[in-house]
Amino acid sequence: MGKSNEIDQLIAALPKVELHLHIEGTLEPAMMFEMAERNGVALRFASIEEIEAAYQFEDLQSFLDLYYAGAAVLIHERDFFELTWAYLVRMAHENVRHVEIFFDPQTHTGRGIALETVLEGIGGALAQAEQTLGISSRLILSFLRDRSEADAMETLEAALAWRESIAGVGLDSAEVGNPPEKFIGAFRRARELGLQRVAHAGEEGPPEYVRQALDLLGVCRIDHGVRCAEDPALVERLVRERIPLTVCPLSNVRLRVFDSLADHNLKTLLERGVCVTLNSDDPAYLGGYLTENWLAVRSALDLSRADVLTLARNAVEASFLEGDAERALLGEIEEVAARRSEPDQAGAGPHTAAKNSESGHRD
């Protein structure tokens, strides 16, 4: 078997973790069409093929316009359940064991859907997946940064009725012109409530937004963050403080952050020592689910077996998992690695990875 084939099989066999996934971004054209008919929602597309043909994006905003339009078919609890469940079933087939999922409450409450409908639907699927698919999860409430901070605050307060279902808050939508500093108060409140904090930064926005997310919002990881590479001192800081980046390579190419996967800086950042993780972002719109991202990047950037194992371990370390659950998943990675060890490494004992006490999970 060729080396690249062996590494692809290792990728398939590894227990995987996804940390950057917008549940609204898993709405496949066929499901969008079916829900639109079922719920009597008019779409501006006449067929599934027309929807697919429209997925040619120039930048983040051109994607967001379609993504928000698509979300309009989600009306009932059943819709949110089915959306989430379909994603989780796919992830079970890909040997994904833990997911941390964004949802955008304002996208739904803004069109008159009750928060209860959204949370009961998504939450029901997550609970069922834990029981029947063996996938653990955390839910991250993401504020839309192109709306006001007051709107974000109001959303957060309303969500407190489901405090136990929500692990943390995030920040997404149109980045440029909506810097993290706009949301200092909302993130301060999230901190007071004991919520984890993450933010999209350095996707289309400048390295300064990554700095603001760290210094002003107190986030424990950065979503995307790839533009950090323009600021060597910032990269050094990410390495030193072991701040994870949730990188989404296929999304970055579709949204023209990089011209091609071969131009992506993920491997350079990994080699520099940044805690890079691999994720899909909005897989129904932006080129593929988690394993497709892994395989595409392995091929385009010629990732080694060691790179793949580092990425797998990084995702567990960067997750909100702690204690036994974290150790168990890290142990499984080492078991798979040992079982599929290279001939010159056969017999080497399992690597005992422990969470760096300075990483993530800061309050």
Q: Which residues bind ligand ADE (CB under 6 A)?
A: 22, 25, 60, 67, 172-173, 200, 203, 251, 281-282
Q: If binding means CB under 5 A, how many residues of this protein chain bind Zn ion?
A: 1
203 is catalytic: yes
Q: Which does 355 bind (CB under 5 to 8 A by kind): Zn ion, ligand ADE, none?
A: none
The owner of tokens 């960067």 is: 318
- CB closer to Zn ion, 24 vs 281: 281
> Taking the complex as a whole, how short is the minimal distance between the CB of residue 355 and Zn ion, in angstroms?
24
Smallest separation, CB 225 to Zn ion (Å)? 11
Give least dist CB 125 to ligand ADE, A. 19
Q: Among 59, 301, 102, 103, which Cα is nearest to 203's?
A: 59
CB closer to Zn ion out of 77 and 281: 281
C-alpha–C-alpha distance, residues 33 and 240, integer Å = 47
> How far is 337 from 308, CA to CA, in rounded Å?
10
- Which of ligand ADE, Zn ion, none is residue 326 near (CB under 5 to 8 Å by kind)? none
Q: Which is closer to Zn ion, CB of 10 or CB of 212?
A: 212
Nearest approach, Cβ of residue 209 and ligand ADE (Å): 12
Provide the minimum distance between the beta carbon of 105 and ligand ADE in the complex, in angstroms, as a whole number. Answer: 13
7 binds, among ligand ADE, Zn ion, none (CB under 5 to 8 A by kind): none
Q: What is the 3-state secondary structure (H, E, C) of the chain?
A: CCHHHHHHHHHHHCCEEEEEEEHHHHCCHHHHHHHHHHHCCCCCCCCHHHHHHCCCCCCHHHHHHHHHHHHHHCCCHHHHHHHHHHHHHHHHHCCEEEEEEEECHHHHHCCCCCHHHHHHHHHHHHHHHHHHCCCEEEEEEEEECCCCHHHHHHHHHHHHHHHHHCCEEEEECCCCCCCHHHHHHHHHHHHHCCCEEEEEECCCCCHHHHHHHHHCCCCCEEEECHHHHHCHHHHHHHHHCCCCEEECHHHHHHCCCCCCHHHCCHHHHHHHCCCEEECCECCCCCCCCHHHHHHHHHHHCCCCHHHHHHHHHHHHHHCCCCHHHHHHHHHHHHHHHHHCCCHHHCCCCCCCCCCCCCCCCCC
The residue among 249 and 360 lying less far from ligand ADE, judged by its C-beta, is: 249
* Separation between Cα atoms, residue 153 and residue 249, nearest integer Å: 31
Distances (CA, A) of 110 to 151, 152, 284: 10, 12, 23
Catalytic, out of 203, 204, 317, 326 = 203
Q: Which stretch binds Zn ion (CB under 5 A): 61-69, 130-138, 181-189, 279-287?
A: 279-287
Nearer to ligand ADE, 196 or 251 (CB): 251
Partner interacting with residue 60 (select from Zn ion, ligand ADE, none; CB below 5-8 Å by kind): ligand ADE
Residue 121 interacting partner from ligand ADE, Zn ion, none (CB closer than 5 to 8 Å by kind): none
Contacting range for Zn ion; rule: CB under 5 A; set: 54-62, 186-194, 273-281, 347-355: 273-281
* Residue range at the interface with Zn ion (CB under 5 A); choices 87-95, 117-125, 278-286, 311-319: 278-286
CA-closest candidate to residue 154, choices 115, 191, 103:
115
Q: Which is nearer to Zn ion, 23 or 274 (CB)?
A: 23
State the minimum distance, in angstroms, from the CB of residue 140 to Zn ion: 10
Residue 226 or 316: the one with the smaller Cβ distance to Zn ion is: 226
Per rule CB under 5 A, is residue 281 in the interface with Zn ion? yes
Residue nearest to ligand ADE (CB): 172
25 binding partner (options ligand ADE, Zn ion, none; Cβ < 5 to 8 Å by kind): ligand ADE
Nearest approach, Cβ of 30 to ligand ADE (angstroms)?
20
Which stretches of the chain bind Zn ion, using CB under 5 A? Answer: 281
Positions marked catalytic: 203
